[in-house]
Structure 1
Amino acid sequence: MAVFEMPLEQLKNYTGTNPKPKDFDEYWQRALDEMNATDPNVEIIPADFKSPVAECYHLYFTGVKGARIYAKLMKPRNNDGPMPAILNFHGYSGNSGDWYNYLGYVASGFTIAAMDCRGQGGLSEDRGGVLGNTLQGHIIRGLDDPDPDNLLFRNIFLDTAMLAKIVMNLPYVDRNRIGATGGSQGGGLTIACAALVPEIKRLVPVYPFLSDYKRVWDMDLAKDAYLELSQYFRRFDPLHLREEDIFTKLGYIDIQHLADRIQGEVLMATGLMDTVCPPSTQFAVYNKIKSKKDIVIYPDYGHEYLPGFEDIKYQFMLGL
């Protein structure tokens, strides 16, 4: 079996490289406290998109730091529930996509909520307000700010949790039948969401991003989706005098450190030739998950379409 980094047997035992801050648990408890104290001021507006099987809405809510967050909301037509719901999270720099993409799930009896990440390709706001570099990339947004609570991905992780809480409380949704899914950044956000809202019952992260930053660096793969790590060091720490502090601070938003909080059932997919989100960084997450789990491995595939997996995911989500 061809791999470009660790053999598969080593991957199955790898538990990560990036340091975990000593106050990690306090950090996320403080974050959740802030989220729970935030009035989401939910607004649901009928959308122009029409379908014989779906009612479609624009959902807006206020996340932490006052940002207005957007999600597509779809429910089966003429169905008042209670029904299962699935949260969808998109890849880095993208958006929630087309309404059409979710019709199969809605026709199967699911409510769907697909979120736009702050400041990326959709409608959600990035209010800014941090000290330091904002030239490129969300991983490093807030890295130079003395307050780690201003890391941008901390706020994006909380947006996923806020969305989950909102959807769980919709009158036609069964709060005990919530799923989450996404690929790449969406896979990372799926992990973060289910860790911060452990009531999520089923999650399908596909080649998750945002894990084990130091391992990415050590493999000389700080390019593509992780390019901003390389650019940050080149511009702001060319001698790597702060390397340990930088990776430790990034540990607050490293999903591998959240993974052991997950209580839902996990189905993950990874390609062993993934040079964008290296397999070891994905296994660092998977190996820390303590709940029921399974992983589908594509030996010859990288960060790309994984044939057959959408069908596998669909069958898994029908178990909600």
Structure 2
Amino acid sequence: MPLVDKPLEELLRYEGRNPRPDDFDAYWDRAIAEMRAVDPQVELVKADLDLPFAECYHLYFTGVRGARIHAKYIKPKQGAGPHPAVVQFHGYTGHSGDWADKLGYAALGYSLFSMDCRGQGGLSEDTGGVRGTTHHGHIIRGLNDHPDQLLFRHIFLDTAQLAGIAMSMPEVDPERVGAFGGSQGGALTIACAALEPRIKRLAPVFPFLSDYRRVWEMDLAENAYAELRTFFRHFDPQHRREDEIFTKLGYIDIQFLAERIQGEVMMGVGLMDKVCPPSTQFAAYNKITAPKSLEIYPDFGHENLPGFSDKTMKFMQGL
């Protein structure tokens, strides 16, 4: 079989290369405390979409550092008593997508919440100096500042805050909530379930934002990771701060958050992935101690994995 990374038997043992900050757990405990102190000021705005079986809303809430975060919210019209819900996350620089591709869960009788990441392609704000979008460069935002200023810290917290809001809805059973997404969305699925451990099932696909040093050593700081190369070229051209930089990135490395997950995991991986190398994904997967399973696609890269969306829906029917 062709390889872009380690053989599968080595991937299943791989533990990652990026350094873990010594105060990683205290860092995230402090971040969660900041999130819980925020008044979310949830606002629902009816969407201009008339459906016989579901209601569609724009949901806005206030996240850490005052950003207003947007999510699409679809809930079924029928059904007695609280029902399950799923939270969806999108790829890097993207947005929550169209309403139409989310209606299958409403047809199942589930609510669905699909978040726009702050400052990317949707309606959520990035309040780091400007209102609205900053679109790109989000991995390196804050690297020359205190670790509490890292932008992905705030985005990870947004995922957990949205999940908590979903669980607080009177129509949602808080014990039956799942999360899913691909690439950045896969990373955010892992972060969400780590920071909001009531998530019962999660289905990440080729998760991004993992094992940054491994990406660098594979010479794959391009495509989604290109800003790592840009940062070194502009701000540390001789790599004198390399250990410091990768250690700081460790605060927003999902492989270390994965240890906190309590829900059941089904992860999709393409072994020919040159955007998020398989070893970086396995660095996170191998640290999960909760029940877990893999769906492996040997000939596929960072692309649609045939059948995985159907597998995800079937998996979520177990909520």
Alignment TM class, shorter chain as reference: over 0.9
Q: Which amino acid counterpart does residue 25 of structure 1 have in structure 2?
A: D
CA distance in 2: counterparts of 1:313 and 1:58, whole angstroms: 24
Q: Counterparts in 2 of 1:180-219, with a 5 A limit?
A: 180-219=179-218
Task: Give the match for residue 317 of structure 1.
Answer: 316
Instruction: Please tell me whether the aligned partners of residues 93 and 135 of structure 2 are also in contact (alpha carbons under 8 angstroms).
Output: no
CA distance in 1: counterparts of 2:72 and 2:49, whole angstroms: 11
Please, what is the CA RMSD of the aligned residues?
1.2
Task: Give the match for residue 148 of structure 1.
Answer: 147
Q: Counterparts in 2 of 1:171-320, with a 5 A limit?
A: 171-320=170-319
Q: Counterparts in 2 of 1:23-102, with a 5 A limit?
A: 23-79=23-79, 81-102=81-102
Give the drift of 1:178.
0.4
CA distance in 2: counterparts of 1:25 and 1:199, whole angstroms: 18
CA distance in 2: counterparts of 1:239 and 1:82, whole angstroms: 57
CA distance in 1: counterparts of 2:140 and 2:122, whole angstroms: 20
Q: Which amino acid counterpart does residue 90 of structure 1 have in structure 2?
A: H
The 3 A distance-change label for structure 1 pair 135 and 101 is closer
**Moved beyond 4 Å, runs of 4+:** none
Q: Which amino acid counterpart does residue 85 of structure 1 have in structure 2?
A: A
1:17 aligns with 2:17: yes
Give the drift of 1:136.
4.9
> What SS does the aligned partner of 1:193 have?
helix
CA distance in 1: counterparts of 2:135 and 2:172, whole angstroms: 40
> What SS does the aligned partner of 1:87 have?
strand
Q: Counterparts in 2 of 1:88-127, with a 5 A limit?
A: 88-127=88-127
Q: Which amino acid counterpart does residue 265 of structure 1 have in structure 2?
A: E
Task: Give the match for residue 3 of structure 2.
Answer: 3
> What SS does the aligned partner of 1:60 have?
strand
Instruction: Please tell me whether the aligned partners of residues 83 and 172 of structure 2 are also in contact (alpha carbons under 8 angstroms).
Output: yes
Instruction: Please tell me whether the aligned partners of residues 93 and 136 of structure 2 are also in contact (alpha carbons under 8 angstroms).
Output: no
Q: Which amino acid counterpart does residue 171 of structure 2 have in structure 1?
A: Y
Write the deviation string for residues 48-87 of structure 1: whole angstroms up to 9, x where unpaired: 1121121000100000000000000000013353000000
Instruction: Please tell me whether the aligned partners of residues 53 and 103 of structure 1 are also in contact (alpha carbons under 8 angstroms).
Output: no
CA distance in 2: counterparts of 1:8 and 1:309, whole angstroms: 20
> What SS does the aligned partner of 1:182 have?
strand
Q: Which amino acid counterpart does residue 89 of structure 1 have in structure 2?
A: F
CA distance in 1: counterparts of 2:75 and 2:47, whole angstroms: 12
CA distance in 1: counterparts of 2:5 and 2:37, whole angstroms: 44
Give the drift of 1:22.
0.4
Write the deviation string for residues 170-207 of structure 1: whole angstroms up to 9, x where unpaired: 00000000000000000000000000011100000000
Q: Which amino acid counterpart does residue 20 of structure 1 have in structure 2?
A: R
> What SS does the aligned partner of 1:4 have?
coil
Instruction: Please tell me whether the aligned partners of residues 78 and 109 of structure 2 are also in contact (alpha carbons under 8 angstroms).
Output: no
> What SS does the aligned partner of 1:19 have?
coil
Q: Which amino acid counterpart does residue 307 of structure 2 have in structure 1?
A: G
The 3 A distance-change label for structure 1 pair 45 and 102 is same
- Tell which deviates more after alignment, 274-283 or 46-55: 46-55
Give the drift of 1:2.
2.0
- Normalization by structure 1: what TM-score? 0.97
Q: Which amino acid counterpart does residue 52 of structure 1 have in structure 2?
A: P
The 3 A distance-change label for structure 1 pair 59 and 136 is closer
Aligned residues: 316
Write the deviation string for residues 226-272 of structure 1: whole angstroms up to 9, x where unpaired: 00000000111000000000000000000000001000000000000
Instruction: Please tell me whether the aligned partners of residues 3 and 299 of structure 1 are also in contact (alpha carbons under 8 angstroms).
Output: no
Instruction: Please tell me whether the aligned partners of residues 89 and 96 of structure 1 are also in contact (alpha carbons under 8 angstroms).
Output: yes
Give the drift of 1:135.
9.7
CA distance in 2: counterparts of 1:25 and 1:108, whole angstroms: 38
- Normalization by structure 2: what TM-score? 0.97
Q: Which amino acid counterpart does residue 92 of structure 1 have in structure 2?
A: Y
